[in-house]
Amino acid sequence: MTGEVSPLGRDDEPAPPDQLRASHEDRDRVVELLRVAAGDGRLTAEELDERLEAALTARTYGELTALVKDLPAQGQAVGVPAPPPEPKELVRIECGSSVVKRDGHWVVPRRMEVQVASGQVTLDFTEAVITQPSLPIDAEVHSGGLILITKPGIVVDTDDVSVRHGLVQVQAPWDATVPAILLRIQVSGKVGSGFIMAQPPRGPRSPRRTFWQWLLRRPKPRALPAP
């Protein structure tokens, strides 16, 4: 039948950010920006009235952005999502007898090369910014160690690692509420007398007893359960 609008199918492309529907909160933010700009002398009274009327009737992020694009420092205030950070093509880590750690909101690169002599390298992926589905890691571990801290949705594959006298161990973090794979880490290379371990983050440690508690043989305080 003509005149009917078919619903979006699964194969349809998602709408670009500037065509997403704006909310009342988005419109209110733009209205406030326009009023501040008029107070700073950037807009005349006629321009303010015209843009306020357009802001209150805007339907998409793109229409709101057009109203403030000529005003300084008006980026994410409109509500358009920021583009994802661009990952590095290759990150090399060379560790002698020191300790190297990547944690927090670090951007996962497209590829990594890790060389450990006798130190330790820890890559914590629990809060990392993941922008691609896979991460190849070429590892060469002599007598040190490489530790991968994972979370549900991250899969570690070490089938291409050759071991001489060392250890390779993968402990998968199980969570049935995460059906999709966020990141697949493919580790290749060799291990001499060191180790490569993939494990979930450890829980909080139990508080240590004081000297007087140990002397009086008082029971050790229990750790508080994680919230």
pLDDT of residue 210 exceeding 70, the answer is no
Alpha helices in the chain (DSSP H): 24-39, 45-56, 61-68, 211-215
What separation, in Å, do the N-terminal and C-terminal C-alpha atoms of the chain show?
55
Bridge partners of residue 147, in order along the sequence:
122, 197
Whole-number Å distance between alpha carbons of 171 and 154: 11
DSSP-assigned letters across all residues of 167-183: EEEE-----TT--S-SE
Structure tokens at 77: 């205030």
Burial class (CB in 10 A: 0-12, 13-18, 19+), 223: exposed
Structure tokens at 214: 């140990």
Q: What is the pLDDT of residue 40?
A: 85
Q: What is the pLDDT of residue 203?
A: 65
Contact between residue 51 and residue 38 where contact means Cβ atoms under 8 Å apart: no
Using the structure block, give the residue that is written with the tokens 């358009």: 80
One-letter amino acid at 165 equals H
pTM exceeds cut of 0.85: no
4 Cβ partners below 8 Å, 6+ apart?
A: none
- Average pLDDT of the chain to the nearest whole number: 82
Q: What is the pLDDT of residue 141?
A: 97
Q: Per residue in 52-99, pLDDT tens?
A: 999 999 998 888 888 888 887 554 556 555 566 789 999 999 999 999
